[in-house]
Amino acid sequence: MKRVLITGAAGFLGSHLCDRFIKEGCYVIGMDNLITGDLKNIEHLFKLENFEFYHHDVTKFVHVPGQLDYILHFASPASPIDYLKIPIQTLKVGALGTHNLLGLAKEKNARILIASTSEVYGDPLVHPQSEDYYGNVSTIGPRGVYDEAKRFMESITMAYHRFHGLDTRIVRIFNTYGPRMRLNDGRVIPAFIGQALRGENLTIFGDGMQTRSFCYVDDQIEGIYRLLMSDYHLPVNIGNPDEITIKDFAEEIINLTNTDQKVVYKPLPQDDPLQRQPDISKAKEILDWEPQVSRQEGMRVTYQYFKSLPSEELYKKAHKDFSNHNKK
């Protein structure tokens, strides 16, 4: 039985990965410090014999007894309001956390896959973004704590690969959505759906002409799984190339939720990328992967999920007091 460590296990992607590896018959060790993750996402796994959970912060030394075959490093805040609230933790988990996990992978002779992001392309000057584009990132802007940590994460991973011969994989994840996203994480999909469910106007940042390309979570997990099982060490984009403006997307949400919400315009946050669309030629060629779920279908399922949450979730504040974490 393969033994797999998944960091960020209580988060959105981490919890779906736990499900996938359990389904594949693996022994799964989930790890999370629960700053942005939620145990509700994995509570259905606690009764299983082939799942265990460590409440641990990977920026501290990581110890896991026994053999490990795979490590998937998915611990990180991943939404712009999280980076603003916990900037230092965001930098540390991408940089120090990755270093600890690479060390663990080396010790255990395990294959390690790290979760990078389309944010390494910053506000891109090349469209769509292919893996050979080096990016346009502000080191000192509000997103810098995430973007630069992820860029460092890629560099140190390649260094362990080249210097120590470690078996590494790097996925560049583009905007992904689906059940278990945090309703209050500030990202556009939960934000719009939450607003529609509360009967509030939808807030479009900027003029709404910025684009994003949304990938349904099942497609994303399949792409990550195939990459882990491949023998390819360089970064691979996984995302859905179906691009849409935020303005058109707001219209789609109004139709989907069957509400008569209006849209209101708010200032565009600093360094908000104006366009984003993955070039997935590499994933197609190397992994024989491409998305299967249309936005219409994926959004229908996601809306049902948010609608099924207890109504107090709709009014939960985005964050507890993080002042202690910021000091660490």
Can you tell me the distance from the alpha carbon of 307 to that of 198, in angstroms, rounded to the nearest whole number?
A: 11
Please say which residue, 201 or 255, places its beta carbon nearer to ligand UDP.
Answer: 201
Q: Which amino acid is at 289?
A: W
What single-letter DSSP state applies at residue 36? Answer: S
Q: How many CB atoms lie within 10 A of CB 264?
A: 11
Sign of the CA dihedral running 203, 209, 212, 214: positive
Question: At 22, is the secondary structure helix, strand, or coil?
Answer: helix
All residues at 6 or more sequence positions from 141 whose CB lies less than 8 Å from its CB, including other chains: 270, 271
Q: How many CB atoms lie within 10 A of CB 258?
A: 8
Can you tell me the distance from the alpha carbon of 37 to that of 60, in angstroms, rounded to the nearest whole number?
A: 17
In the numeric block, the tokens 């002779």 are attached to: 109
Among 246, 253, 280, 287, binds ligand UDP (CB under 6 A): 246
Q: Which of residues 273-312 bind ligand UDP (CB under 6 A)?
A: none
Please say which residue, 203 or 261, places its beta carbon nearer to ligand UDP.
Answer: 203
Told to judge if 146 belongs to the known catalytic residues of this protein, a careful annotator would answer yes
Q: Which of 27, 121, 146, 216 is catalytic?
A: 146
Among 272, 305, 314, 322, binds ligand UDP (CB under 6 A): 272
Please say which residue, 205 or 305, places its beta carbon nearer to ligand UDP.
Answer: 205
> How near is the Cβ of 16 to ligand UDP at its closest, in Å?
18
> How near is the Cβ of 126 to ligand UDP at its closest, in Å?
17
State the binding string over 40-79 for ligand UDP (x if CB under 6 A, else -). Answer: ---------------------------------------x
Among 145, 197, 204, 215, binds ligand UDP (CB under 6 A): 204
Q: Which of residues 211-240 bind ligand UDP (CB under 6 A)?
A: 212
Q: In terms of Cα–Cα distance, which of 41, 78, 39, 75 is closest to 57? A: 75
Please say which residue, 30 or 298, places its beta carbon nearer to ligand UDP.
Answer: 298
**Would you give the distance in Å from CA 55 to the centre of its chain?**
19
Choices 93-101, 126-134, 198-206, 293-301 (CB under 6 A): range interacting with ligand UDP? 198-206
Asked if 16 contacts 221 with a C-beta cutoff of 8 angstroms, the reply is yes
State the binding string over 158-197 for ligand UDP (x if CB under 6 A, else -). Answer: -----------------x-----------xx--x------
State the binding string over 91-130 for ligand UDP (x if CB under 6 A, else -). Answer: ----------------------------------------
Please say which residue, 103 or 142, places its beta carbon nearer to ligand UDP.
Answer: 142
Please say which residue, 167 or 252, places its beta carbon nearer to ligand UDP.
Answer: 252
Parallel, antiparallel, or unpaired: how do β-strands 243-245 and 211-213 relate?
A: antiparallel
Measured CA distances, 264 to 140, 204, 258 (Å): 29, 6, 18
215 by Cβ neighbours in 10 Å (0-12 / 13-18 / 19+) ranks as: buried
> How near is the Cβ of 283 to ligand UDP at its closest, in Å?
19
Can you tell me the distance from the alpha carbon of 61 to that of 50, in angstroms, rounded to the nearest whole number?
A: 24
* Active-site amino acid positions: 146
* Interaction site with ligand UDP (CB under 6 A): 79-80, 175, 187-188, 191, 203-205, 210, 212, 246, 269, 272
